[in-house]
């Protein structure tokens, strides 16, 4: 794969409007809608900050076109982003594919799509992902639950098939994606396995060994600790 010496790289960060009852519903089942929303907001704050510290351009993709969702997006997120765009698509695969296409159309030749509920996504992970794309077609950071928290692709290697026929929301997301990468003949760099916080048990395990950079997340968990028996 022939790539330019200096590649423009952007992070397309997927965020949800921090509205209680709308975000982290599985987590809310164990800790309540308000607490789950507070923790999600803290996690997203940390990931936005990590992208800023990495020096990569941030493009924010939010989960709704409705006025309520856009009104409650924190101003700090928007201020950190080059642009704020509504996600488009019927499932997460279509939404990610659309985000890649959107960024590539703006002459960005390395795009990293990431989730906002992964406190392990520090600046070093984004820097490593951008570096990996200099010598690989795809970079992937799997999560402990069988999904992935980050996927990056170089424009010359992008194939929409990366998001076709994936069993989303299962423990086979990363294995199925790796199988498609192999079928397409693309090279892949696997980064360290990350933790996303989807359930109260996830939070409890994370609290025993928190990510050092995720200050807002760690402070929020400490604030909620007594109420949640963490």
Domain ranges, ordered by start, for the chain: 9-228
Q: Is the pLDDT of residue 4 over 80?
A: no
For tokens 């704050």, name the residue.
45
CA distance 3 to 52: 25
Which of 179, 153, 27 is closest to 99 using CA atoms? Answer: 153
pLDDT exceeds cutoff 90 at 230: no
Single pTM value for the model = 0.93
User: Per-residue pLDDT for 66 more than 80?
Assistant: no
Domain 9-228 has CATH 3.30.230.80: no
């Amino acid at each position: 794969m022939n790539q330019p010496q200096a590649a423009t790289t952007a992070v397309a960060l997927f965020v949800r409007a921090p509205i209680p009852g709308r975000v982290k519903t599985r987590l809310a089942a164990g800790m309540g809608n308000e607490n789950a929303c507070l923790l999600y907001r803290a996690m997203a704050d940390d990931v936005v900050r990590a992208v800023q510290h990495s020096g990569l351009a941030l493009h924010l993709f939010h989960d709704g076109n409705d006025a309520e969702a856009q009104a409650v997006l924190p101003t700090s997120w928007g201020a950190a982003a080059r642009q704020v765009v509504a996600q488009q698509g019927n499932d997460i695969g279509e939404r990610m594919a659309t985000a890649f296409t959107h960024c590539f159309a703006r002459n960005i030749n390395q795009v990293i799509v990431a989730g906002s509920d992964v406190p392990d996504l520090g600046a070093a992970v984004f820097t490593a992902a951008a570096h990996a794309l200099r010598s690989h077609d795809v970079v992937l950071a799997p999560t402990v639950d069988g999904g992935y928290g980050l996927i990056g692709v170089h424009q010359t290697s992008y194939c929409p098939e990366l998001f076709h026929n994936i069993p989303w929301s299962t423990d086979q997301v990363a294995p199925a994606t790796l199988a498609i990468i192999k079928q397409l003949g693309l090279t892949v760099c696997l980064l360290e396995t990350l933790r996303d916080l989807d359930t109260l048990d996830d939070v409890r395990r994370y609290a025993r060994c928190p990510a050092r950079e995720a200050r807002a997340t760690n402070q929020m968990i400490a604030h909620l600790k007594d109420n949640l028996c963490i």
